[in-house]
Chain A
Amino acid sequence: MKRVAGLARIAIGDEDAARLAPELGNILHWIEQLGEVDTGGVEPMTAVIPNTLRLRDDVVGADPLTGGGIREKLMANAPEAEHGFFTVPKVIE
């Protein structure tokens, strides 16, 4: 439980882990019935409706939303931004 929560980057205490383990166990037990299905020779689905992947035009700034020059907009929702940068706790000792 703790390992999965660690992979998911969600902090859980011992109490949470004890409560969640049987709950998730039940759900996993329920979905394990898929194992009964004979899927020999079946390709896993990759696209639900046939479609072709498109490439966008290789032009700088073709889309004003992604073309750069919008730093203020990008930073406007940051919980803590300084001097035009996102900030995080110190990562280098």
Chain B
Amino acid sequence: MGAPNDASDLTELGIAAIRDGVRGGDFSAREVAEAFVARVAAAKELNAFLVETPDHALAAADAADAARAAGDEPKPMAGVPIGMKDLFCTQGVPTTAASRILEGFVPPYESTVSQRLWDAGAGMLGKLNMDQFAMGSSNETSAFGNVISPWRRSDGGNAPLAPGGSSGGSSSAVAARLCPGATGTDTGGSIRQPAAFTGISGIKPTYGRCSRWGTIAFASSLDQAGPMARDVRDCAIMLEAMAGFDAKDATSLKLDVPRWEAGLSGDLRGKRVGIPKEYRVDGMPAEIEALWQQGIAWLTDAGAEIVEVSLPHTRYALPAYYIIAPAEASSNLSRYDGVRYGLRDLPEGANLQDMYAATRADGFGAEVKRRILIGTYVLSAGFYDAYYTQAQKVRALIARDFEDAWGRCDLLLTPTAPSAAFALGEKSADPIAMYLNDVFTVPSSLAGLPAMSVPGGLDGAGLPLGLQIIGRALDEQGVLGAGLAIEQRAGFTAKPERWW
């Protein structure tokens, strides 16, 4: 690889290329950080960043350069600047989860996932915008404005498009080359759907791989952090840095972190890939069906045997999710009371209960309130069994469907989302239409399984479409391998034309 002369070229590099280039002395970490800092500063129109932290990125870069000069063993992500979703608490840097109720909150501690990334040598370019409390599929629920996708339809229409959600700041920033990688979190598809909408890769690991400590909670039995980056290798590198046992999270898995990058292989000989017939949903665009068939052909070419499988409870995954996630959210978000942190609204003459109610009415956005109210209702006396207990039983059946499928195959291939990116405002009037965006990503979330989206191609309007690989619990290696096999054959090099 030649050393780019123009600083703007450095922003075309992914995580592996930056890491290797800094190690090899092709360029300094400082040059890389400065190039990305400049790109971030020039991209305000995308509204991807809530807070910019150039000093953090530059300090990490200087540390990487100094370590190299001193001949120290290089850290795994030394010299790589990244974006941090604003759901991760970052010590001394404002963290709001894109909600007014946390406006002004400055965490006195660092989340485990972000700390691990800094320990690996990465630096932070800033905090990324997102759907408020990670509730949304289009980034339209942020209290600090929509994130805009860098992509535009090729038909000349300039309608601003959704970058997906909830990790929409992350997807927009990576696709626009504002950072080579970003953290995301995925509760029902919030890494995979935005990755698919913006032509990048993203993996949600097995539940328990990444510590939830210091990550603002939405639905604790589903929330998992993961990387979003330009390709599969970059995801593997970043996931290795993020994952690992943490005693501070009771659901953290006490397992060593595999060396996923070293184990990467797109050779699928001996693997069986299942195609779940229930994922062929009504009204799915022909282009997505065609891409799915193309994905089957690519995996066959990589040596995999294709088998049809059945996941009979698939259609009940979304309704179960929209009981379980709001129920957990209503409990988790009860902590925002106007007393200990964040917003307080104390109307004249109000008592304590009035203060709670006024603070929460003012501080939470419409979608967050909607979900808290649903969660409160389904958990309330007399309704609990009919809704919540039934949903947890259905969840057990959905997990059993996957278990049964693993008797016939090693991995599953599906589309990531039922459509390409839609325009901002197109679905925001109808909550259920918005929820249906996660139809292919929610079942694996409910079962805690690793799943990733990789770009497969463009639709007729020039917008990216993603393919999803789902694996057995703890088989991130298999998921990454199949993702790599697709990547090697899709040859996806499209990127958004810079208009911002």
Using CB atoms and an 8 Å cutoff, list the residues of chain A in contact with chain B.
4-12, 20, 23-24, 26-28, 30-35, 37, 39, 42-49, 51, 53-54, 56, 63, 65, 70, 73-74, 76-80, 86, 88-91
- 24 residue pairs A–B, Cβ–Cβ below 8 Å: A8-B372, A8-B373, A9-B353, A11-B354, A20-B370, A23-B370, A27-B431, A33-B316, A34-B316, A34-B387, A39-B390, A39-B394, A44-B389, A44-B395, A48-B221, A48-B395, A49-B253, A51-B253, A56-B247, A77-B104, A78-B341, A79-B341, A88-B352, A89-B346
Our pick among B108, B207, B372 for the contact of A49 (Cβ within 8 Å) is: B207
Nearest-neighbor residue (CB-CB) of B371 within chain A: A27
New A-B pairs, 6, CB < 8 Å, besides A11-B357, A49-B473 = A5-B373, A48-B207, A48-B221, A48-B395, A49-B207, A74-B340
> Size range of the interface on B?
35 or more
Known A11-B357, A28-B374; contact A43-B393, beta-carbon cutoff 8 A: yes
Our pick among B109, B352, B377 for the contact of A89 (Cβ within 8 Å) is: B352
Residue B257 is within 8 A (CB to CB) of chain A in the complex? no
Interface pair B357/A10, CB less than 8 Å apart: yes
Determine the chain B residues whose CB is within 8 A of the CB of A32 once the complex forms: 319
Determine the chain A residues whose CB is within 8 A of the CB of B395 once the complex forms: 44-45, 48
Task: Type the 1/0 row for B382-401, where 1 means its CB is closer than 8 Å to any CB of A.
Answer: 00001101111111110100
Interface pair B247/A44, CB less than 8 Å apart: no
Nearest chain B CB to A24 CB, angstrom units: 6
The 5 tightest CB contacts between A and B, nearest first, are: A48-B448, A44-B392, A79-B344, A77-B341, A39-B393
Known A48-B446, A48-B448, A78-B340; contact A30-B432, beta-carbon cutoff 8 A: yes
Residue B208 is within 8 A (CB to CB) of chain A in the complex? yes
A20–B364 Cα distance when bound, in Å, is 15
Nearest-neighbor residue (CB-CB) of B436 within chain A: A30
Determine the chain B residues whose CB is within 8 A of the CB of A70 once the complex forms: 108
Interface pair A49/B394, CB less than 8 Å apart: no
Using CB atoms and an 8 Å cutoff, list the residues of chain B in contact with chain A.
104-106, 108-109, 206-208, 221-222, 247-248, 250-251, 253-254, 313, 316, 319-320, 322-323, 330, 334, 337-344, 346, 350-358, 360-361, 364, 369-370, 372-374, 376-377, 380, 386-387, 389-397, 399, 431-432, 446-448, 473
Nearest chain A CB to B200 CB, angstrom units: 26
Interface pair B340/A77, CB less than 8 Å apart: yes
Known A44-B389, A65-B109, A88-B355; contact A51-B360, beta-carbon cutoff 8 A: no
Interface pair A33/B396, CB less than 8 Å apart: no
Determine the chain B residues whose CB is within 8 A of the CB of A8 once the complex forms: 330, 360, 372-373, 376
Nearest chain A CB to B413 CB, angstrom units: 22
Known A76-B108, A79-B338; contact A11-B207, beta-carbon cutoff 8 A: no
Known A11-B360, A48-B399, A49-B473; contact A89-B343, beta-carbon cutoff 8 A: no
Interface pair B393/A44, CB less than 8 Å apart: yes
A7–B105 Cα distance when bound, in Å, is 26
Determine the chain B residues whose CB is within 8 A of the CB of A44 once the complex forms: 389, 392-393, 395-396
Interface pair A27/B432, CB less than 8 Å apart: yes
Interface pair B370/A79, CB less than 8 Å apart: no
Q: Which of A34, A43, A46, A76 has the most CB of B within 10 A?
A: A34
Nearest chain A CB to B394 CB, angstrom units: 5
Nearest chain A CB to B387 CB, angstrom units: 7
Our pick among A4, A12, A65 for the contact of B380 (Cβ within 8 Å) is: A4
Determine the chain A residues whose CB is within 8 A of the CB of B352 once the complex forms: 88-89, 91
Determine the chain A residues whose CB is within 8 A of the CB of B340 once the complex forms: 74, 77-78, 86
A42–B356 Cα distance when bound, in Å, is 39
Known A43-B393, A88-B355; contact A63-B373, beta-carbon cutoff 8 A: no
Nearest chain B CB to A67 CB, angstrom units: 13
Q: Which of B207, B222, B330, B340 has the most CB of A within 10 A?
A: B340
Known A7-B380, A12-B361, A44-B389; contact A27-B374, beta-carbon cutoff 8 A: yes
A56–B222 Cα distance when bound, in Å, is 23
Our pick among A9, A34, A37, A65 for the contact of B360 (Cβ within 8 Å) is: A9
Our pick among A46, A49, A77 for the contact of B342 (Cβ within 8 Å) is: A77
Known A42-B397, A77-B106; contact A54-B373, beta-carbon cutoff 8 A: no
Determine the chain A residues whose CB is within 8 A of the CB of B248 once the complex forms: 63
Nearest-neighbor residue (CB-CB) of B431 within chain A: A27
Interface pair A34/B105, CB less than 8 Å apart: no
Nearest chain A CB to B444 CB, angstrom units: 11
Our pick among B109, B355, B380, B397 for the contact of A37 (Cβ within 8 Å) is: B397
Determine the chain A residues whose CB is within 8 A of the CB of B350 once the complex forms: 89
Nearest chain A CB to B237 CB, angstrom units: 24
A88–B319 Cα distance when bound, in Å, is 39
Determine the chain A residues whose CB is within 8 A of the CB of B322 once the complex forms: 27, 30-31
Q: Which of A39, A45, A70 has the most CB of B within 10 A?
A: A45
